[in-house]
Amino acid sequence: MAEIAAKVLVVGGGPGGYVCAIRAGQLGLDVVLVEQGGLDGGLGGTCLNVGCIPSKALIHAADAYERATEQAKSAPFGLSVERPTIDFARTIEWKNGIVGRLTSGVGALLKRHRVKILQGHAVMVDGKTCRVETDTGPQVVTAEHVVLATGSVPATLPMLPFGGRIISSTEALSLTAIPERLAVVGAGYIGLELGTAFAKLGAKVTVIEAENRVLPTYDEELVRPVVRHLRALGVEVLTRARAVGLSEAGDALRIEQEGAPARSIAADRILVAAGRRARIAGFGLERLDLTMNGPFVQIDERCATSMRNVWAVGDLTGEPMLAHRAMAQGVVVAELIAGHRRVFDGAVIPAVCFTDPEIVTVGLSPEEARKAGHEVHTAQFPFQANGRALTLSAEDGFVRVTARADNHLLLGIAAVGAGVSELAAAFGLALEMGSRLEDIGGTIHAHPTLGEAFHEASLRALGEALHI
């Protein structure tokens, strides 16, 4: 049995793991990264292979098809097309090409920084030793530091086990044909992003949500424009409803809804989007003396676990399960191992929902700020008064700021509208730098841009609005 010794062993090649390995390599550390591939597709993990990247490709294709379909019916600015069609197999091929380019890029970056990549299934023997089952036989890796980055998997529902017409987001992104009827169980960001995309592509979509509204983790003010567009797309949304299983024939989803009789929803595919759970089992983690935080591995502000020199990053450490959080944690861990003084401060982590329209949030909502004991000034600027939004025919939405009433320190920034995901960087930077309303109001914003709404919302909170 071959044996490898290294300074750092990274278990998992997703965003947290590969970024940690790259940064450690940049810092001159001897690194081994183990990635098993499988459903996640290999380097890049869920995000790159079957999550963030392919879903955004599908969403873009669906948006383009919807616009073409609308232009076949009318020509609001003089452009018209005739009978748009979509070859969905080619769409998937295009999506796969993007994923392939990016995964190849990750592999090249790891090699450039002298990271040794082992393809295989990793099982921890103890806090410093790992057995890796590879195609060429088992290998043992010993390391001074171990970084756990095993990620997460789609959560399952006992009454709707995956298989056949019941699919997770992974299978939804690999369909070769657009389903005529799609039932989506769960109205969080995964369910609504994919449900909206397939509705635009022509599927009859029904969304089932146990809570009293869609996107329950976002405040209602931000969700209203999304709900309006779901109605315009013809998506049926059933709230206070739960799936109880398949019909006897297996061709419909049985649901129970508060205040309504039980019913069945005919569906060619049933997308279960009930969240994700940490991937804990199967890696020998039970052999380690890890303190758990419920279903997650507990870490401190340095991403250190309860075992000396065993670190954990990404989804297996809990919410928010976001690739950019995992990446930031990976950098912190690599630099700590190299002897730098670092902590992970997760106070400013942008969250983006790529629905139609998009939602972006950073920091606290007005309600959260008040619950935290702050008196606040809050104001929003509508895209109906933003010139760039009007030229894009995308006036539904707004930018909202929340700041302390006493010193005007920004506590939270949010937006809903077409393309607002690209404002996440400006919002995050403003909070990270400790900006006040006066800082944003005194910054010259380019005209005409959507970002001007951030400027105007800040001025409005100060009572100095210029364009409303």
In this predicted structure, what is the pLDDT of residue 28?
Answer: 98
Distance CA 218, CA 360 (A): 10
Residues 147 and 247 in one domain: no
Residue 461: CB atoms within 10 Å: 25
Whether 37 maps to a domain, the answer reads yes
Whether 467 maps to a domain, the answer reads no
Q: Tell me the one-letter amino acid at 110.
A: L
In this predicted structure, what is the pLDDT of residue 82?
Answer: 87
In this predicted structure, what is the pLDDT of residue 229?
Answer: 97
In this predicted structure, what is the pLDDT of residue 38?
Answer: 66
Distance CA 399, CA 455 (A): 9
Structure token digits, residue 326: 């995992």
CA dihedral of 223, 228, 234, 235, whole degrees rounded to 10: 10
Residues 144 and 22 in one domain: yes
Distance CA 270, CA 182 (A): 6
pLDDT averages per 10-residue partition of the chain, 468 residues: 91 98 98 84 90 97 95 85 92 96 96 96 96 93 98 96 96 96 98 98 98 96 98 97 93 94 95 96 95 97 98 97 98 98 94 98 97 98 98 96 98 98 98 98 98 98 96
Active site residues: 447
Overall number of domains in the chain: 3
Distance CA 31, CA 33 (A): 7
Residues 182 and 249 in one domain: yes
In this predicted structure, what is the pLDDT of residue 364?
Answer: 97
Residues 50 and 108 in one domain: yes
In this predicted structure, what is the pLDDT of residue 39?
Answer: 56
- CA distances from residue 334 to 22, 142, 326, 362 in whole angstroms, order as listed: 9, 17, 12, 26
Whether 314 maps to a domain, the answer reads yes
Helical segments of 14-148, H only: 15-26, 45-50, 52-73, 88-112
**Domain span including residue 265:** 166-274
Whether 200 maps to a domain, the answer reads yes
In this predicted structure, what is the pLDDT of residue 41?
Answer: 63
Residues 10 and 147 in one domain: yes
CATH of the domain at 366: 3.30.390.30
Residues 269 and 315 in one domain: no
What is the distance, to the nearest Å, from the Cα of residue 153 to the centroid of all Cα atoms in its chain?
Answer: 13
Indicate the residue among 274, 301, 319 that finishes a domain: 274
The pairing of beta strand 263-266 with beta strand 252-257 = antiparallel
Distance CA 390, CA 396 (A): 9
Residues 110 and 10 in one domain: yes
For 410, what's the count of Cα atoms within 13 Å in the CB-facing half-sphere? 32
Indicate the residue among 302, 337, 372 that finishes a domain: 337
Does this model's pTM top 0.85? yes
In this predicted structure, what is the pLDDT of residue 42?
Answer: 86
Residues 149 and 114 in one domain: yes
Residue 108: CB atoms within 10 Å: 10
Whether 407 maps to a domain, the answer reads yes
Residues 310 and 245 in one domain: no
The pairing of beta strand 252-257 with beta strand 129-134 = unpaired
Length of the chain: 468
Residues 118 and 235 in one domain: no
CATH of the domain at 59: 3.50.50.60
Residues 115 and 175 in one domain: no
> What's the chain's Rg over C-alpha atoms?
24
Whether 468 maps to a domain, the answer reads no
Residues 254 and 367 in one domain: no
Whether 346 maps to a domain, the answer reads no
Whether 342 maps to a domain, the answer reads no
Beta-carbon contacts of 184 under 8 Å, excluding residues fewer than 6 positions away, are: 191, 192, 194, 195, 205, 206, 207, 208, 270, 271, 273
Distance CA 324, CA 346 (A): 11
